[in-house]
Amino acid sequence: MSKSHSYPAPDYLQLQGLTKVYGERNAVSDLNLSVARGELVSLLGPSGCGKTTTLHMIAGFHTPDEGDIVLDGCSLRNVPGHRRGAAMVFQNYALFPHMTVHGNVEFGLKMAGVSGAERRRRVGDAVELVRLGGLENRYPRELSGGQQQRVALARALVLKPSLLLLDEPLSNLDPSLRRALRQELVDIHRLTGMTTVLVTHDLEEAFAVSDRIAVLNQGVLDQFDTPRAIYTRPKTRFVADFLGHENVLEGRRISTEGTARVDISGTLVEAPSPRPDLVATELIRYALPARQLHIVAPSNESSIQRHAGRSRFGARVKSLAFMGSAISYSVDWQGLVLQGEQTADALFDGLEVGAAVDVSWATDHLIELPNV
Ligand SMILES: Nc1ncnc2c1ncn2[C@@H]1O[C@H](COP(=O)(O)OP(=O)(O)OP(=O)(O)O)[C@@H](O)[C@H]1O
Ligand SMILES: [Mg+2]
């Protein structure tokens, strides 16, 4: 690695004003991102937003048109890909078909001139880490998709890279295998402490594995935050939309003194105090996640009641769907259709489509959405 450009480096990996242009279009625009040593950061966004392009610039497959990448205090501008100490796992595995599991995992070490005894030890460790012990002599065609994906991961891990780059590593797997391998990724990351950049367009995956998530919108970084902060404080409308909240309540803010009140179709709803980082506006939108909505038996009292920190209103059941451990439902609340989900045992008898019910939610489960 070149030591010619030295920067003070509070963070292990820094993307500084990274830009990549294809023809007339910026695939990546002025991207600034700092990743701490040992951190697992996801690049998240829809198809075509520049995730792979960014990863390939870090790996050295593409040269940025502007900006720089700094790793451990050193610019990578003049460092070719194979000398960056990064290892990449590709979406399509890219295993050598004519080599066994052992051969695939060993290959990079051979190329690096590692001695035979050490190669055997390190291949053994890597194969154990991804739980492929016993399959060393199989060929890729004799493995399942999930096993092949583990070989690809072992092939990267065995090199003890300074950076692990993963491009949608789980996207070809079926949902249950995906969840299992996702947990293994988290465990391996905890064990090895490798600084990792993971590309995904799957929100749940990013939430489950990441220390921090960078949300890309057409090549521009919209937000870089912890999963919880992305969920509860989306910075832009794009991020909020990407979160795919089931219910969005739109209304006019009446008061912000004390408890905030919002007028939604003529009904006053208690709302959390306005966030200082959002532009003050009368018209305001709140997300209400389906799992935070609760159906309760209708009360005889007035349909509008205020409990401390909760809202409760009369509504009518529009649909009910059995989902196994949970019931998914929708209700009509003054012309708005709200989606809800709760465990079956938390629901009361006699609940059916058309029934009058009350719906309830905690005020602080409303997520204020940005308008820009
Ligand atoms: N070699 C290329 N030539 C021209 N345009 C390209 C090239 N590679 C990528 N692009 C464009 O750059 C943009 C970003 O592409 P990129 O592959 O980084 O997206 P992505 O976020 O990885 O998408 P996906 O989730 O579909 O893999 C896209 O609009 C794409 O069409
Ligand atoms: Mg891609």
Closest atom, ligand 1, to C-alpha of 199: 22
What is the number of alpha carbons within 13 Å of residue 371 lying toward its C-beta? 14
pLDDT value at position 306?
54
Q: What is the predicted pLDDT for the residue at 290?
A: 93
Distance 54 CA to ligand 1 centre (A): 10
At 68, list the tokens: 């720089």
Q: Which atom of ligand 1 is nearest to the CA of 23?
A: 4
Number of H helices, E strands in the chain: 8, 21
Taking CA 179 as the corner, what is the angle to CA 221 and CA 341, rounded to the nearest 5 degrees?
85
Q: Which atom of ligand 1 is nearest to the CA of 20?
A: 12
Query: Using CA atoms, how far apart are residues 78 and 69, in angstroms rounded to an integer?
Result: 10
Residue 174 backbone dihedrals phi, psi, to 5 degrees: -75, 160
Contacts of 150 (CB under 8 A, 6+ apart): 130, 131, 132, 181, 184
> Cβ-count burial of 191 within 10 angstroms (0-12 exposed, 13-18 middle, 19+ buried)?
exposed
What are the angstrom distances between the C-alpha of 206 and each of 1, 39, 74, 138, 170? 31, 13, 28, 32, 11
Who surrounds ion ligand 2 at CB < 5 A? Answer: 52
The confidence score (pLDDT) of residue 10 equals 66
pLDDT for position 307: 63
Ligand 1: residue of 52, 65, 220 to mutate (most ligand atoms within 8 A of CB) is 52
Smallest Cα–Cα separation from 312: which of 261, 361, 242?
361
Residue 248 is encoded by which pair of tokens?
């969005």
Q: How many angstroms does the Cα of residue 28 sit away from the middle of ligand 1?
A: 9
How far is 30 from 220, CA to CA, in rounded Å? 7
Residue ID of nearest Cα to ligand 1 atom 24? 47
CA of 200 to the centre of ligand 1 (A): 14
Q: How far apart are the first and last CA of the chain?
A: 42
Per-residue pLDDT, 309: 85
Q: Give the ligand whose atoms come closest to the C-alpha of residue 61.
A: 1
Q: Which residues line ligand 1 (CB under 6 A)?
A: 22, 27, 45, 47-53, 201
pLDDT at 258: 66
Q: Measuring from atom 31 of ligand 1, which residue has the nearest CA? A: 48
**pTM for this entry:** 0.86
- Reading the chain (372 residues) residue by residue, the pLDDT tens digits are 444 444 444 689 999 999 999 999 999 999 999 999 999 999 999 999 999 999 999 999 999 999 999 999 999 999 999 899 999 998 777 899 999 999 999 999 999 999 999 999 999 999 998 889 999 999 999 998 889 989 999 999 999 999 999 999 888 777 887 888 889 889 989 988 999 999 999 999 999 999 999 999 999 999 999 999 999 999 998 999 899 888 999 998 887 676 788 888 888 898 888 777 776 667 888 999 999 999 988 875 544 455 678 899 999 999 999 888 889 999 999 899 999 999 877 777 778 899 999 999 999 999 998 877
pLDDT of residue 3: 41
- The token pair at 353 is 């489509």
User: What domains, with CATH codes, occur in the chain?
Assistant: 13-234 (3.40.50.300), 247-251+282-368 (2.40.50.100)
List the residue whose alpha carbon is closest to atom 16 of ligand 1: 50
pLDDT at 170: 85
Q: How far apart are CA 272 and CA 287, in angstroms?
A: 12
Distance CA(15)–CA(55), nearest Å, equals 11
Whether 315 and 309 have beta carbons less than 8 Å apart is answered as no
Cα–ligand 2 centroid distance for 21 (angstroms):
16
CA distance 154 to 146: 12
Look at ligand 1, atom 1, and give the residue with the nearest C-alpha. 22
Predicted pLDDT of residue 120? 95
The predicted structure's pLDDT at residue 324: 83
For residues 74 and 84, what is the distance between their CA atoms, to the nearest angstrom?
10
